[in-house]
Amino acid sequence: MTHLVSTGLDALPGPTVVVLGGGFAGITLIQKLAKQPVKVLLIDQNNFHTFQPLLYQVATGSLAPDNIGFPYRRKIAKIPNVAFRKAVVHSVDTQEQHIHTDQGIFAYDYLVVATGSKTNFFGNEALERNSLQLKSIAQALDIRSDFLQEFEDALYLQDDDRRSALNFVIVGGGPTGVEVAGALAEIRKNILAEEYKEVDAETMQITLIEAGPRVLASFSEKSSHVAQDYLRSMGVQLRLGQRVLDYDGEMLTLSTGESLRSRTVIWSAGVMGAAVSGLPANVYTRANRLSVNDFLQVDGVSNVFAVGDVAFVGANGHPMVAPVAIQQAEVLAKNLLLLASNAAPAHPFRYRDQGNLATIGRNKAVVEVGKLRFQGLVAWYLWMAVHLVSLIGFKNRLVVLFNWAMKYFSHKNIIRLIVRPPSHSAARSGKASK
């Protein structure tokens, strides 16, 4: 399609700001520009915002997809200067100030790239083809169906085949990897042991592989070691200082020369910017992120800005986490309003570190805020409170709180439906997720 697509906002005053991506940065930017003298168009390939910090709970059956998803149209319906279009972005033409999508061409005065991040397999095609990843609701459902199907398959298997089916490997010891490993350990104890009586629960192995010397590298060494102790106490096998070299869908090859047999490998070892094409080659920097100045403008490109995971600010960049994205969007909103009034941007971005949080399991978490360190039950309550407050929509907060309470008192994951294709190859290749 080559025609210009109408946004329905043409009659309103002010320049057109097109936002690509409705993650934490995109949603925050829209909220800050609501009812301001600018026309805002949000473009996303999905029609909903995903609360990614709780994706692992969808993957492990504690929450349903709609508990952490929120439709964009419900959010922007009452905002007169904001419109939404569901479309896949193909490229950007910075000369014509056009965005080419599968639904046509959109014009912009100011473009904000907030496309977030995607899984980084570091060029290893075999790992990308055969392992599962956790960056979307569809992929979370793949993982949920995969481990539940493995439980069912184990009833028909013997010895080595059963051990392979029940050997779950998580690669990457960041918050996602740690949280998935802890959740699977609780599932082994509370579901496999009680509901699959024909299977010895001890046959299920959970292995967390981390290339660095410890898990949760962004935390202090003390918090990291606490998390490791929690994981080991739950029966998770830690392989630290080891890298995964290859995986063919059955056999995992490690840098130590060892091999592990597993039908399920969940990759959480890295992310990279989900940058759009069409920008000058020199603006793509480390991990495919876009190099931006202190005012979040893409270096050397007029009227194009980037925020969130896809933006690389300064010499070393910032962590690819929600607080960074939110703070960047807040600063950019102020500068866009200055530009709309023909003034120069006056608000440079300066990140305020709000701390780190990770949960390992029931009553087990680590939280760092400034110089304060929390662990155990207090940290677990803090982790829950922060995530509840951050969820979009009162109903979502209420339902998530209810589900957490049900799981706490019943010791059971609420949702155990196999809803994705049973084929391991389809799930691993992402065919079921697209």
What is the 8-class DSSP label of residue 190?
I
Q: What was the pLDDT predicted at 279?
A: 96
Query: Strands 264-267, 132-133: parallel, antiparallel or unpaired by DSSP?
Result: parallel
CA distance 141 to 61: 9
Sequential DSSP letters for 90-115: EEEETTTTEEEETTEEEE-SEEEE--
Environment class of 50 (CB within 10 Å of its CB; exposed 0-12, middle 13-18, buried 19+): buried
Query: What DSSP state is assigned to residue 6?
Result: P
Alpha helices in 10-60 (DSSP H): 24-33, 55-59
Give the C-alpha separation, 197 to 155, whole Å: 10
62-113 pLDDT, tens digit per residue, is 999 999 999 999 989 889 999 999 999 999 999 999 999 999 999 999 999 9
CATH topology for the 16-119+271-340 domain: FAD/NAD(P)-binding domain (3.50.50)
Which residue stretches of 193-301 are H helix? 193-195, 221-233
Q: Is the pLDDT of residue 270 over 70?
A: yes
pLDDT band at 310; cut points 50, 70, 90:
very high
Six-digit token string for 299: 């270096």
Q: Considering only CA atoms, which of 403, 239, 306 is closest in space to residue 23? A: 306
Q: Could you write out the DSSP letters of every residue in 319-377? A: -SSHHHHHHHHHHHHHHHHHHHTT-------------EEEEEETTEEEEEETTEEEEHH
pLDDT, greater one: 3 or 427: 3
pLDDT at 428: 46
Q: 318 has which bridge partners?
A: none
pLDDT of residue 365: 97
Q: Spell out the domain ranges in the chain.
A: 16-119+271-340, 125-269+355-433
What is the C-alpha separation between 361 and 190, in angstroms, rounded?
Answer: 12
Mean pLDDT across the chain, nearest whole number?
93
**Residue 371 near residue 344 (C-beta atoms within 8 A):** no
Q: How many CB atoms lie within 10 A of CB 157?
A: 16
What is the C-alpha to C-alpha distance for residues 247 and 253, in angstroms, rounded to an integer?
6
What is the C-alpha to C-alpha distance for residues 109 and 124, in angstroms, rounded to an integer?
39
Q: Check pLDDT > 90 for residue 414.
A: no
Give me the catalytic one of 125, 128, 150, 179.
179
Mean per-residue pLDDT for 147-170? 95
In tens, the pLDDT along 105-122 reads 999 999 999 999 999 999
pLDDT score for 3 = 77
Question: Quick one: what percent of the chain has pLDDT higher than 70?
Answer: 97
Q: CB-side exposure of 345: number of CA atoms within 13 Å?
A: 16
Per-residue pLDDT at 434: 40
Least confident range from 118-122, 367-371, 425-429: namely: 425-429
Contact 52, 23 (CB under 8 A): yes
**Is 179 known to be catalytic?**
yes
Indicate whether 427 pLDDT > 70: no
16-119+271-340 matches 125-269+355-433 in fold: yes
What is the rounded average pLDDT of the residues 151-167? 94
Q: What is the pTM of this model?
A: 0.93
Angle between helices 376-390 and 394-410 (to 10 degrees): 150
Q: Is a pLDDT exceeding 80 seen at residue 177?
A: yes
Fold of 125-269+355-433: FAD/NAD(P)-binding domain (3.50.50)
